[in-house]
Amino acid sequence: MIFYPKDKQSISEYTLAVIASNNVYSYLLQQAFLIKNLGIEYKNMFVADIGLLEEQKKQLKSILGEKINFLEFDHKNFNTGFKTQSNEYRNIIDNRINFLRTLFLHDDVEKVVQLDADTAIIRNDFSMLDKKADMSLTVRPVTPWDHILGQFQVDYPNCGVIFWNNPKNCLRFIDAWERYKNNNPPKGGQYEQNYFLHACLEDEFKELKVQKIHCAYYNCYEKEWINEKTSILHYKGSSKKFGPGGGNFEQRSDYLNETVFNQKLRFNL
């Protein structure tokens, strides 16, 4: 698929879809703060509440007002400190598929950006986004520690940011994603990524129009990738950079924010 960038293109018609619990609240608060203070254009935000405290939801509402909505899900965890790929993580991240399906069928939802809670939109520059594609994946070169399915891929998708430009067309793929997850027990790390990759081998994915965009633009988690068009940061960490446990909120945020904003960004409400 050939795509020509469009200047001054925003995501003003997109619904932001975020799953969040108490465990990642600091990142979600940072995300809301940056959206508000950087004048990010978007239609609205739906948060899948999988363990947010009532006072946290009130605080987010005070920042984003009527543009933020919360959807309740059955599997919740109000604890903090559990790690990605843990059993606690798996239990709540399984809400993702139902969350997306709910939004895709919502009368008021036109387009959706799936965002991890530890991401932040920092610019309105989405000139690289092909809105005519059914789905736009943020991808990167495959690495030796990626899931075995990805070893043959040049463009390895990262589920932290996915643009669902034509959600109705993607419903059959959502079903295929869920079907594979339900029929295969979890095996080791990269839990959600594994199921998504397997679903991408199904016919339901192959019949979609899919754009691939390097993570440097809309899912940037490496300092070296940051450029003048980087519009979404992803603060996920690794033990190599931040020590055991992947680093706390301050370490992970500072890693990218110092490069983008020339300072260790701290918000004061």
Query: Is the pTM value of this prediction over 0.85?
Result: yes
Is residue 5 included in any domain, yes or no? Answer: no
Is residue 269 included in any domain, yes or no? Answer: no
What mean pLDDT do residues 19-39 have? Answer: 95
Per the structure block, which two tokens stand in for 11?
A: 């995501």
Nearest to 99 by CA among 49, 135, 165: 49
Is residue 266 included in any domain, yes or no? Answer: no
Note down the domain range covering 219.
11-261
Nearest to 139 by CA among 159, 122, 112: 159
Q: Read off the pLDDT band of 2 (50, 70, 90).
A: low
Q: CB atoms < 10 A from the CB of 186, how many?
A: 14
Task: Give the pLDDT confidence score for residue 144 in this predicted structure.
Answer: 65
Q: How far apart are CA 49 and CA 74, in angstroms?
A: 9
Number of domains the chain contains: 1
What integer best gives the mean pLDDT of the chain? 89
pLDDT digits (tens, 9 = 90+) for 189-233: 667 878 898 899 899 999 999 999 999 999 999 999 999 999 999
CA dist 130 → 10, 111, 112 (Å): 11, 12, 13
pLDDT digits (tens, 9 = 90+) for 176-192: 999 999 998 776 666 78
Q: How far apart are CA 223 and CA 44, in angstroms?
A: 29
What mean pLDDT do residues 164-177 have? Answer: 97
Dihedrals phi, psi of 221, to nearest 5 degrees: -125, 10
Q: What is the CATH number of the domain that holds 35?
A: 3.90.550.10
| Residues 6 or more apart in contact with residue 221 via CB below 8 angstroms | 160, 215, 233, 234, 235, 236, 256
Per the structure block, which two tokens stand in for 189?
A: 């790390």
120-137-151 Cα angle (round to 5): 115
Is residue 215 included in any domain, yes or no? Answer: yes
